[in-house]
Amino acid sequence: MRWATAFGGFDRYWQAFRKHPRLQGGFVWDWVDQGLTRLDDDGQSYWAYGGDFGDTPNDRQFCLNGLVFPDRSPHPALFEAQRAQQFYQFQMLEQQPLTIEVSSEYLFRTSDNERLYWNVALDGKAIAQGEVELSLAAQGTQKIVLGDIPELKESGELWLNVEVRQIKATAWSDEHHRCAWDQWRLARPLTLPTDHSDVQAQSPRLNEHNDAFSIEWGTQRWQFNRQTGLLEQVVAG
């Protein structure tokens, strides 16, 4: 099944809205798909819409471009919208010690039901973690020092992950509902250069053909079209 999110580049639009106070948009046009369950010739159910009932004219795919399906199960676009519109924004200030700033986009309420959780993960495994009470006024900011990056005993991808969860259930959410999150890469895996000692002593070699030039160096080869000058082929070992 295919559907349109109806808001391509949604996160980039919201970056612009936050940068320019007089710019507004990002409003969700269609919350739920307008479709009905039907069975195809093989007895498989599908969401029918946009002419599937023989109606002409019809709205075609514009009936099925919401954030949730007709049965209210979520589209992937729903999670994109949640991430772009989250009410808490984060900024990395320093890496040593790990220091972040949390900003609230709530206009009237304080962070009286939220707590920040964080972890430093090496190749996906947490090696340090903690939690911090948030104390944010409406539209306020809070600087939080998380501590030093743990000493690494092995190479790998190191990430700082933060998320804000609600402490208590509300009328619309469960206890510990995640309402905002972000992450930053702190380090990349250490990689040693490949040993090219067997080919470094060689010079690149130019070969001429009827319709192409080729350049060879060790086990690598690049071929260019003589007429257009375009690269046509690459052989890398």
pLDDT tens per residue, range 64-84: 888 999 999 998 889 999 999
Query: Residue 58: what pLDDT?
Result: 79
Q: Cis before residue 57, ω within 30 degrees of 0?
A: yes
Which domains are present in the chain? 10-83 (no CATH), 87-187 (2.60.40.10), 203-236 (no CATH)
Query: Residue 158: what pLDDT?
Result: 93
Query: Residue 4: what pLDDT?
Result: 35
Return the closest-CA partner of residue 101 out of 93, 111, 109.
Answer: 93
Quickly list H helices, the chain: 10-19, 76-84, 197-200
Return the closest-CA partner of residue 164 out of 146, 175, 178.
Answer: 178
Query: Residue 53: what pLDDT?
Result: 83
Residue 63 and residue 44: Cα distance in Å, rounded?
Answer: 20
Query: Residue 190: what pLDDT?
Result: 60
All residue ranges of the chain with pLDDT < 50 are 1-5
Bridge partners of 145, per DSSP, are 99
> 188 and 123 in contact (C-beta within 8 Å)?
no
pLDDT tens per residue, range 180-226: 999 999 977 665 556 656 555 678 899 999 899 999 988 899 999 99
Query: Residue 193: what pLDDT?
Result: 57
